[in-house]
Amino acid sequence: MSNIQNLKSFDPFADSGDVETQPTNYIHIRIQQRNGRKTLTTVTGVPEEYDLKKILKVLKKDFACNGNIAKDPEVGSVIQLQGDQRLKVMQFLVKQLGMQKKNIKIHGF
């Protein structure tokens, strides 16, 4: 039986393992309105391998704003920054961390 090639236990539909079909993880940058004209910028979906604490430290210094890291059960760690820092955050992610622009989504008005 095993001499016949067709009956060998090779599954042509099995996962070969080398195809990267994992969905692209977007980094979402959102904005939320607070009281008055104050806003809050949230950054979700930053890959695990980055040290959020360090990123936050640099961001806070660069943008001259406060911020913190919130833990969310659904999306994991979230960087929160005071004020509208969306464009600045995106530039930082692209330039300093070498992320691709197409993987970053900016939401809000």
Contacts with another protein, residue ranges (CB under 8 A) = 28, 30-35, 37, 40, 42, 44, 70, 72, 74-75, 78, 80, 107-109
With contact defined as beta carbons under 8 Å apart, do 47 and 28 qualify? no
CB of 24 to another protein, least distance (A): 12
Between 14 and 78, CB nearer to another protein? 78
**CA–CA distance, 102 with 19 (Å, rounded to integer):** 21
CB of 50 to another protein, least distance (A): 17
Between 51 and 72, CB nearer to another protein? 72
CB of 37 to another protein, least distance (A): 8
Torsion (CA) 10, 15, 18, 21 in degrees, nearest 10:
160
Give me the helices (H) in the chain, please.
52-63, 86-95
**CA–CA distance, 55 with 5 (Å, rounded to integer):** 55
**CA–CA distance, 11 with 4 (Å, rounded to integer):** 15
CB of 76 to another protein, least distance (A): 9
Between 16 and 24, CB nearer to another protein? 24
Between 21 and 98, CB nearer to another protein? 21
